[in-house]
């Protein structure tokens, strides 16, 4: 009976129902081998064997040149400060979401997640519209103080970078720490208070140690996101600041110094993988058996005015931090360079303002992005569904090996992946540099782990008896898949499809390397417009950023709707 319930000891008919053709399982592994491991190995080869023989000149240059050492140091400490600020500012919100009920909580929680799914270049443009010389803050100050020049310019400063990183990663702490906190049994704290411990002593000696696994996980994820930050640094940091991501792009795309770019990529890969190793060890060290309970049982309405004040203060801060930049982006897209509000910037998306023969209308970038996203969805679903079936059917030992392999692209910088594509796929036997498939292939690689994690829980939730009963009644494996599996994983497939579509629409780090000048995507077109002077170009960048933000927001809302009932692991 146990073997029947767990799927072990399946008869031949059952194996045919549950498994795809054996060769089909090779597709996701082959895809990763060609488009992930091969580019990374090519970076290793270019770093260590730039002229066909072993040479460590590029690595020595990194270690001996003060500029590269300063770049590594800046990348590290700005990520650490960004992580600390995000943790400090989001921790009170995590407590409020974990312990209290209040009107509009579900809507606010969904709103706080929207910034995280936005492309980094949209986040950078939003803060430029808020804090830049032509931003909301300066316009308000100039009117209030009757000034002729902007009094405040946070663009190209560290504060702009920190604020954008907090905006982008706030929900990571809110969801991971708040979600874990909501499941902790409040009776543990009540026992400590009964034994004489005060509020702060209970927090430091009971609550905080129990929260350490969640705090460690959230902090490390935020650090990795800030360590590999690209669009935010490139636009808000300007020429004064460069992370490893930005320097890889400059060395490869501007200076054509591929060996140094490869050495920087190698250093970043080692640091990122090292952080993942630290993460797994921290989890193993700090995780202890806990008595968890449902979130509803741990939450209550605020009991007094002080608690209501704390809830309202946190809600106000969230709205100020997370809504104001996006509102500034939308408002400025209708008003920049114009006397009043109009659709001028949106109409100009199809106009060649300079009469250049090499001009590619920004509206064409919208069509390019939609086309690439469509191909990414098809590739991502085909590979993700196959990989999810493979993970769902194999033994625990093989699953323990394959699962982290399929998740590896999540821990690798998109800029590094894009640079690896340039190095590995620009010559035989895989000369794809001029192929239109190169961009959706890169986007599929980035989206692949999300698709797998969206589909896998739904596959594991299908009861084995359903397939067995269908097979006994004479249904072919194809019919069983069509009439049992597909309806039950349909929502998860939609979630995976929307993930792939949204990620493809906003992907910037890898695309900036591999997109041909005549075939830009929306993020690349936004970056080009921001690089050109003039209010009209800036207005077009704001308009296109608003459209991209709208697409990603609608995609996130669809994800939340389709995965009702907890389908998916994100």
Domain positions in the chain: 56-118+154-332, 358-570
Is pLDDT larger for residue 94 or for residue 554? 94
Give, in order, the Cα–Cα distances in Å from 231 to each of 214, 234, 242, 466, 495.
27, 5, 11, 48, 26
Q: Where are the alpha helices (DSSP H) in 258-361?
A: 258-286, 295-298, 305-335, 344-347
| CATH 1.10.3720.10 given to domain 358-570 | yes
Q: 294-328, pLDDT tens digit by residue?
A: 555 667 788 888 888 988 998 899 888 888 888 88
CA 219 – CA 371 distance, rounded (Å): 36
Asked if 437 and 64 touch (Cβ cutoff 8 Å), the reply is no
CA distances to 8, 243, 432 from 218, in Å: 37, 21, 38
DSSP string, 222-254: HHHHHHT--HHIIIIIGGG---HHHHHHIIIII
Contact 344/332 with Cβ under 8 angstroms?
Answer: no
H-helix or E-strand containing 208?
helix 208-227
> Identical fold at 56-118+154-332 and 358-570?
yes
Give the pLDDT score at 321: 86
Give the integer Cα–Cα distance in Å for 135 and 138.
6
Question: How far apart are the C-alpha atoms of 292 and 182, rounded to whole Å?
Answer: 9
Q: How far is CA 57 from CA 38, 259, 263, in A?
A: 23, 9, 10
Q: What local confidence, expressed as pLDDT, does residue 462 receive? A: 65
- Residue-wise pLDDT for 28-51, tens only, equals 889 999 999 898 888 888 777 766
Decide which of 315 and 433 is more confident: 315
CATH for 56-118+154-332? Answer: 1.10.3720.10
Question: What is the torsional sign of CA 245, 249, 252, 257?
Answer: negative
CA–CA gap between residue 497 and residue 560 (Å, rounded): 13
Nearest Cα residue to 279 out of 407, 165, 164, 183: 407
* Residue 78 pLDDT greater than 90, yes or no: yes
DSSP 204: I
Cβ-contact 13, 474 below 8 angstroms: no
pLDDT tens, position by position, 314-370: 889 988 888 888 888 888 888 876 667 888 888 877 766 555 545 677 778 888 988
């Amino acid at each position: 009976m146990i073997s029947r319930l767990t799927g072990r000891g399946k008869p031949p008919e059952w194996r045919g129902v549950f498994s795809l053709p054996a060769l089909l399982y090779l597709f996701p592994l082959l895809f990763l081998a060609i488009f992930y491991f091969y580019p990374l190995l090519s970076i290793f080869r270019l770093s260590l064997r730039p002229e066909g023989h072993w040479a460590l000149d590029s690595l020595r240059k990194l270690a001996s040149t003060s500029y590269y050492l300063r770049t590594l140091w800046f990348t590290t400490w700005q990520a650490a400060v960004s992580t600390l600020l995000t943790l400090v500012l989001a921790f009170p919100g995590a407590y409020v979401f974990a312990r209290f009920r209040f009107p509009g909580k579900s809507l606010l929680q969904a709103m706080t997640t929207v910034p995280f799914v936005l492309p980094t270049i949209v986040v950078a443009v939003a803060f430029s519209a808020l804090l830049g010389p032509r931003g909301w803050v300066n316009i308000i100050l100039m009117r209030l103080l009757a000034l002729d020049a902007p009094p405040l310019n946070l663009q190209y400063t560290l504060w702009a970078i920190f604020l954008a990183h907090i905006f982008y990663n706030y929900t990571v702490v809110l969801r991971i720490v708040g979600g874990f906190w909501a499941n902790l049994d409040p009776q543990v704290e009540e026992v400590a208070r009964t034994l004489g411990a005060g509020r702060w002593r209970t927090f430091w000696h009971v609550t905080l140690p129990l929260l350490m696994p969640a705090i460690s996980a959230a902090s490390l994820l935020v650090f990795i996101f800030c360590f590999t930050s690209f669009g935010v640094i490139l636009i808000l940091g300007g020429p004064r600041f460069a992370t490893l991501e930005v320097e890889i792009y400059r060395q490869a795309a501007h200076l054509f110094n591929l060996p140094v770019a490869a050495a920087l990529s190698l250093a970043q890969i080692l640091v990122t993988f090292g952080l993942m190793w630290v993460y797994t060890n921290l989890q193993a060290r700090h995780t202890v058996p806990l008595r968890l309970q449902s979130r509803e049982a741990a939450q209550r309405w605020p009991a007094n005015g002080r608690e209501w004040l704390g809830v309202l203060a946190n809600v106000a801060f969230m709205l100020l931090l997370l809504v104001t930049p996006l509102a500034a982006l939308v408002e400025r897209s209708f008003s920049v360079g114009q006397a009043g509000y109009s659709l001028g910037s949106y109409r100009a998306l199809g106009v060649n303002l300079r009469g250049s023969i090499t001009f590619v209308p920004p509206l064409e970038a919208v069509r390019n992005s939609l086309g690439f996203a469509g191909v990414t969805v098809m590739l991502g679903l085909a590979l993700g569904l196959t990989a999810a079936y493979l993970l769902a059917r194999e033994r625990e030992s093989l699953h323990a090996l394959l699962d982290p392999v399929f998740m590896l692209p999540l821990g690798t910088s998109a800029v590094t992946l894009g640079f690896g594509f340039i190095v590995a796929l620009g010559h035989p036997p895989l000369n794809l540099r001029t192929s239109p498939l190169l961009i959706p292939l890169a986007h599929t690689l980035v989206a692949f782990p999300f698709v797998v994690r969206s589909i896998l829980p739904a596959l594991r939730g299908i009861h084995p008896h359903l397939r067995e009963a269908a097979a006994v009644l004479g249904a072919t494996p194809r019919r069983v898949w069509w009439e049992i599996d597909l309806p039950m994983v349909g929502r998860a497939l939609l979630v995976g499809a929307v993930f792939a579509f949204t990620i493809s629409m906003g992907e910037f780090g890898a695309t900036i390397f591999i997109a041909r000048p005549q075939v830009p995507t929306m993020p690349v077109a936004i970056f080009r417009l921001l690089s050109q002077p003039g209010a009209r170009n800036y207005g077009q960048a704001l308009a296109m950023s608003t459209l991209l933000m709208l697409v990603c927001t609608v995609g996130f809302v669809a994800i939340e709707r389709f995965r009702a009932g907890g389908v998916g692991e994100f």
